[in-house]
Amino acid sequence: MRNNTYYWYCEKRKENFSNVKVAKTVTQIKQKSCEIKNKSAQIIKDITAKMS
């Protein structure tokens, strides 16, 4: 039982980290789309490439 709780806790924390990363990426995409006149697909491609 204890191992399952630990495993769940680790997975939960990974998910929270991922959510923060996604939120930051979405914010970057919104900011860039206002600043730059590039196509939306190009902006998304550029920012997601930097995420990796």
Residue 37's SS3 state is coil
Half-sphere exposure of 27 (CA within 13 A, CB side): 6
Give the type of residue at 11.
E
pLDDT, one tens digit per residue, over 1-43 is 455 555 555 655 656 566 778 888 888 888 887 777 767 778 7
Specify the pTM.
0.48
Longest dimension (CA), the chain: 54
Query: Phi/psi at 10 (nearest 5 deg)?
Result: -65, -45
pLDDT of amino acid 1:
47
How sure is the predictor about 46, in pLDDT bands with cuts at 50, 70 and 90? confident
pLDDT at residue 47 greater than cutoff 60: yes
Structure tokens at 32: 């860039």
Q: How far apart are CA 8 and CA 16, in angstroms?
A: 12
DSSP 52: -
Name the residue ranges covered by the structural domains of the chain.
2-51
